[in-house]
Amino acid sequence: MIRLRTLFVLAAAMLPVAAQAADDKERLLDLRQPPVVVQALQDAGYKAELKTNKAGEPYVLSGANGSSFTIEFYGCTGVKDCNSYQFSSWYKAEPLFTPELANAWNVSKRFLKVSIGKDGALNEWMDFSAVGKTTFANFADIVDWYQTMDADLTKFLDEKRAAAKAK
């Protein structure tokens, strides 16, 4: 009888934890609001800092895989109501960074895209709509996709660097 009672007490103690996990998955986020994006990133275990660029527009500074990235907001009314956001980061110019390299990446990747700027830097980005609400679980999946694709891009670039060096 004591074992059954102990088991019942332990199960009852775990219910709030399970309920919280379910609530987090179903928690709705309004990602049009930059502070909500900051909090969601932090809740997902990432560092996140809300900043403002020279034009007074909000952006988030964060990081994954040992590299920093930003989340920039577009179509904003003021600094709170934005209709889209973009994860992005940059690599300093290298001779390897050519339109052909960007095309080789982009042709086989659906979500994370790259381009080469006029200065030769490589820019990576993923765009998302912020219209309507989304669940925390969906946002956490978006961040995970960015982190995974960023790691894939690093591997892709390392392989291209090694191949170029071998020639």
Q: Which residue has the higher pLDDT, 79 or 1?
A: 79
What range does the domain containing 34 cover? 28-166
Whether residue 166 is predicted with pLDDT greater than 70 in this model: the reply is: yes
Whether residue 16 is predicted with pLDDT greater than 90 in this model: the reply is: no
Q: What DSSP line would sit under 45-94, residue for residue?
A: T--EEEEE-TTS-EEEEEEETTEEEEEEEES-BTTTB-SEEEEEEEE---
Tokens coding 77: 């009314």
pLDDT of 118-140, one tens digit each?
Answer: 999 999 999 999 999 999 999 99
Is residue 23 domain-resident?
A: no
The whole-number pLDDT of residue 14 equals 52
The whole-number pLDDT of residue 56 equals 87
Is residue 162 domain-resident?
A: yes
pLDDT of 69-126, one tens digit each?
Answer: 999 999 998 767 999 999 999 999 999 999 999 999 999 998 999 999 999 999 999 9
Centre a 10 Å sphere on the Cβ of residue 112 and count the other Cβ atoms it contains.
19
Whether residue 20 is predicted with pLDDT greater than 80 in this model: the reply is: no
Centre a 10 Å sphere on the Cβ of residue 27 and count the other Cβ atoms it contains.
16
The number of folded domains in the chain is 1
Is residue 48 domain-resident?
A: yes
What CATH number does residue 101 fall under? 3.30.1460.10
